[in-house]
Homo-oligomer: A and B are copies of this chain.
């Protein structure tokens, strides 16, 4: 039988409590769909800083290298703000993991679920039209990783993109669109940036490999506006690292349900890091009220993208959907709800 090794990096804040539910769910589906799983925990973020002085200790990195995927919780909190950038829990763990494993492709779906349209901060006349967007973000290039420097009275950052970097992320976006509504909106600032002109040209070339997918280009400023005015116009958004960072959070805000949004960060050989889109939410940590669904759906994405266990992934997604329909949700989704983290996790397990 197949066997998968998962590095489990729960992190800080609500990370450990939502991860506990995801682990229960994974164990149930492994049993049901007959594959083996070894889930090995390791320290990351603030918890790792406190224990070792590093947000991503060598030991954790070594575990990740010996695993088939990383299931990530969330990191950071007030205790660790004010540290130098390299030491910060979020940046100090996520950026080196992305670079080490060449996780060039970040997938962030964002939906307004019709039954939960009222969660969206958009007006009902907009949110009732729905939203079903997949943000495909380049994750290992651009201004994040270009040459940067600092003198006494000035600083600089460089955004650099190659045709190869743009091509590989564009192919992911077009292939994803083929399985969805067959439309890619490529985001750039080609009226100002040379990298954006190259981006646009390269995306045009790749589009020829996918004649059944419609392509449009949109400036980042206009996209920031259009997402609010009529998010239902979008299917797949293709973004560079910086623009994807901004728009994927804007999409999450529009969905209104951070606690439901998973994400996947993939490389070219099936390895990936899977994490909820929301943060460590230190204000509600330890209270047993955090929503475990984004973490559980992140585990489903891991089964799909890294292990090819599509049936197991779908089973989890259907169980989640079922609980949502039964209104078995935490209070971020329904303020009147009395279900906590463990109760929602247990309901999903029971459905499975």
Binding site for B on A (CB under 8 A): 85, 88, 90-91, 95, 118, 120-124, 126-127, 143-144, 146, 148-150, 153-164, 189-195, 197-198, 220-222, 224-226, 228-229, 242, 245-250, 252-254
Q: Check B191 against A157 for contact (C-beta < 8 Å).
A: no
Beta-carbon contact of A228 and B246 below 8 Å? no
Q: Assembly of this chain: how many copies?
A: 2
Contact indicator A193/B148 (Cβ below 8 Å) = yes
Contact status B249-A197, CB under 8 Å: no
* Cross-chain contact of A195 among B157, B198, B221, B254 (Cβ < 8 A): B157
Q: Are B222 and A249 neighbours in the complex by a CB distance under 8 Å?
A: yes
Closest chain B CB from A144 CB (angstroms): 5
Report which of B126, B144, B224 forms a contact with A192, defined as CB distance below 8 A.
B144
Q: Could you say which residues of chain B place their CB within 8 Å of the CB of A228?
A: 121-122, 228, 250, 253-254
C-alpha gap A162/B151 in the complex (Å): 9
Contact, CB under 8 Å: B250 / A143: no
Report the separation of the CA atoms of residues A191 and B245 in the bound assembly, to the nearest whole angstrom: 12
Known A-B contacts A143-B159, A159-B143, A253-B228; the reply to A197 vs B164 at CB < 8 A is no
A221 to B126, alpha carbons, bound, how many Å?
Answer: 22
Determine the chain B residues whose CB is within 8 A of the CB of A153 once the complex forms. 162-164
Q: Would A224 and B197 count as touching, CB distance under 8 A? A: no
Contact across chains for A161 and B150 when beta carbons are under 8 A apart:
no
Residue of B nearest to A254 (CB): B228
A156 touching B154, Cβ below 8 Å: no
Nearest to A191 among chain B residues (CB) is: B91
> How far apart are A92's CB and chain B's nearest CB, in angstroms?
9
A-B contacts, 21 of them at CB < 8 A, read A85-B191, A123-B127, A143-B192, A148-B193, A149-B194, A150-B194, A154-B160, A154-B162, A155-B195, A155-B198, A157-B158, A157-B193, A157-B194, A220-B245, A221-B248, A224-B224, A224-B249, A224-B253, A228-B250, A228-B253, A250-B250
Complex: how many Å from CA A191 to CA B220? Answer: 21
- Which B residues are in CB contact (< 8 Å) with A250? 224-225, 228, 250
Within the complex, what minimum Cβ distance (angstroms) separates A159 from chain B?
A: 5
Decide if A124 touches B123 in the complex (CB within 8 Å): yes
Distance in Å: Cβ of A14 to nearest Cβ of chain B: 17
The answer to whether A85 and B249 touch (CB under 8 A), given A91-B191, A127-B123, A192-B91, is: no
How many angstroms from the CA of A226 to the CA of B123 in the assembled complex?
16
Beta-carbon nearest neighbor of A192 in chain B: B144
Contact B192 A85 (CB under 8 A): yes
- With a 10 A CB-CB cut-off, give which of A88, A121, A146, A160 has the most chain B CB atoms: A121
Question: Is B252's CB under 8 angstroms from A225's CB?
Answer: yes
Q: Are A155 and B122 in contact (CB under 8 A)?
A: no
List of B residues within 8 angstroms of A148 by Cβ: 193-195
Question: Which residues of B have CB within 8 Å of A159?
Answer: 143, 156-159
Known: A120-B123, A122-B122, A153-B162; 19 extra A-B contacts, CB below 8 A, are: A85-B191, A85-B192, A90-B191, A123-B123, A146-B156, A148-B195, A153-B163, A154-B198, A155-B161, A155-B197, A156-B158, A156-B160, A157-B195, A221-B245, A224-B224, A224-B253, A228-B253, A229-B253, A250-B250
